Amino acid sequence: MLRVAVLLSGRGSNLQALIDACGAPDFPAEIIHVISNNPDAVGLLRAQDAGIGTSVLNHREYETREAFDTEVTRVLEDANAELVCLAGFMRILTEGFVSHWTDRLLNIHPSLLPSFKGLDAQQQALDAGVKLAGCSVHFVRPGVDEGPIIAQAAVPVLDDDDAKALSARILALEHRLYPRVVRLIAEGRVTVVDERVTISDSQAPTGALSNPSRD
């Protein structure tokens, strides 16, 4: 069983998706610890309800980002974490932390990277007028929302979409995509070569999603 830790700052809906996936008897990973920088994060309650150990590390109590990240690493290593999943963790991690966890640190972002990095990605997509939007799971690198992309999922952007409606549809994809990627990693099927990901025994879909779908 792959030992997974989750870092979050808010409601933890992606954490819940991972918890639900790990509840399946054939799922090859388990969540062993959850860390939040926000003592009021709802995600902490989700973890506690599932019997998962939690830690609150309030970033405001640390003099530097480096000191905070060092403590996060200490907690993760004490828990024997093998993979770390960011799930709405609203902190920019230091290069030292990211380097320490290279290819063991995942993020999920609500855009089809490399487009629309940073905050308000869904509104960025709407402002750009794209016809397809979605989410990406990637290995984390020092730049914001940068790193080898493991998997992506897309939805059409509708003419009457606002950021709230588009975000909800993308979030539903996130809840399916993140557990799928964790399974692939736990099964040893994900490899990074020259900053590109290959997945063994996988097949791309034969069809294409287009918007509009017809003339």
pLDDT above 90 (res 150) = yes
Give 144-205 as a 3 state SS string. CCCCCEEEEEEEECCCCCCHHHHHHHHHHHHHHHHHHHHHHHHCCCEEEECCEEEECCCCCC
pLDDT above 80 (res 100) = yes
User: pLDDT class for 212, splitting at 50, 70, 90?
Assistant: confident
pLDDT above 90 (res 205) = no
pLDDT at 215: 62
Q: What is the mean pLDDT of the chain?
A: 96
Residue tagged active-site, from 59, 100, 109, 138: 109
H or E stretch covering 98: helix 95-100
- pLDDT, tens digit, for every residue of 65-94? 999 999 999 999 999 999 999 999 999 999
Q: Where are the domains of the chain?
A: 2-199
Give 19: exposed, middle or buried? Use CB within 10 Å, 0-12, 13-18, 19+.
Answer: buried
Within 10 angstroms of residue 100's Cβ, the number of other Cβ atoms is: 16
Q: What is the mean pLDDT of residues 53-57?
A: 98
Give 160: exposed, middle or buried? Use CB within 10 Å, 0-12, 13-18, 19+.
Answer: exposed
Tell me the percentage of the chain whose pLDDT exceeds 90: 93
Instruction: Please tell me what DSSP assigns to residue 93.
Output: P
Cα–Cα distance list, 54 to 6, 13, 60 (Å): 10, 16, 18
59 is catalytic: no
pLDDT at 213: 79
Say yes or no: domain 2-199 is CATH 3.40.50.170.
Answer: yes
pLDDT above 90 (res 209) = no
What's the whole-model pTM score?
A: 0.95
pLDDT at 77: 98
